[in-house]
């Protein structure tokens, strides 16, 4: 009984209007930290590289958290977790935008011809661009008006592209680290995203078999 009361209390907190905005505010702390590092010159000897790397890391982290929502909802049977999915997806896109901005401005100085050459020359930049375009499409259609305009079925089909984003994001990270042969963080994120995608395959297969039986 006490455990049930605790669960109900937690679910009530998740439904509170301030819960989502509190989470959003906490999620912007890394951005504030990076801005403070720029202001006080505390990002090390190569601030541009630090910003590009940190913004990319936070994009992957928020992608992992976003993909965690569905397993949480199903395993706990708390639909309240879905209240956070849209904002988490938009936060993933926000950090992806920051990552792209830091690369375009700090690394390439808005030289669009050079950026185009870099995309052709370095495959991991092309893969990163593909990820960004997909995230842009997902962010642009994340609102209720888009669901109504597209229809629920087509909307769900489009938003399954988040799985492609996860795979391409890891490939982008792997190729970027390949030059330095430093793969520790790559395997960490690959394991997390692999587990999250693997859970979906297992759950879908289990549900399909249950329907057949």
Number of domains the chain is built from: 1
**pLDDT tens, N- to C-terminus, the chain (213 residues):** 556 556 677 888 888 889 989 999 999 999 999 999 999 999 989 999 999 999 999 999 999 999 999 999 999 889 999 999 999 999 999 999 999 999 999 999 999 999 999 999 999 999 999 999 999 999 999 999 999 999 999 999 999 999 999 999 999 999 988 877 778 889 999 999 999 999 998 888 877 655 544
User: Helices 85-102 and 17-27 meet at what angle, rounded to 10?
Assistant: 20
CA 210 to chain centre: 31
**Which residues constitute the domain of residue 24?**
2-212
Q: What is the dihedral of CA 184, 188, 191, 195, to 10 degrees?
A: 180
- Nearest CA to 60 out of 161, 186, 182 is that of 186
Other Cβ atoms less than 10 A from the Cβ of 163: the count is: 15
């Amino acid at each position: 009984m006490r455990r049930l009361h605790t669960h109900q209390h937690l679910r009530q907190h998740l439904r509170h209007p301030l819960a989502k905005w509190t989470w959003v505010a906490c999620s912007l702390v890394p951005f504030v930290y990076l801005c403070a590092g720029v202001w006080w010159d505390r990002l090390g000897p190569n601030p541009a590289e630090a910003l590009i790397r940190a913004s990319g890391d936070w994009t992957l982290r928020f992608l992992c958290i976003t993909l965690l929502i569905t397993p949480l909802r199903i395993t706990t049977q708390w639909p309240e977790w879905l209240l956070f999915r849209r904002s988490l997806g938009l936060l993933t896109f926000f950090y992806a935008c920051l990552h792209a901005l830091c690369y375009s401005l700090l690394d390439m100085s808005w030289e669009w011809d050079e950026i185009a050459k870099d995309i052709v020359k370095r495959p991991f930049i092309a893969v990163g661009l593909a990820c960004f375009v997909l995230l842009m499409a997902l962010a642009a259609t994340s609102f209720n008006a888009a669901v109504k305009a597209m229809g629920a079925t087509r909307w769900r089909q489009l938003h399954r592209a988040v799985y492609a984003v996860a795979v391409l994001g890891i490939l982008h990270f792997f190729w970027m680290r390949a030059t330095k042969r430093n793969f520790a963080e790559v395997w960490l994120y690959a394991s997390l995203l692999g587990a999250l995608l693997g859970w979906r395959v297992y759950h879908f297969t289990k549900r399909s078999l249950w329907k057949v039986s």
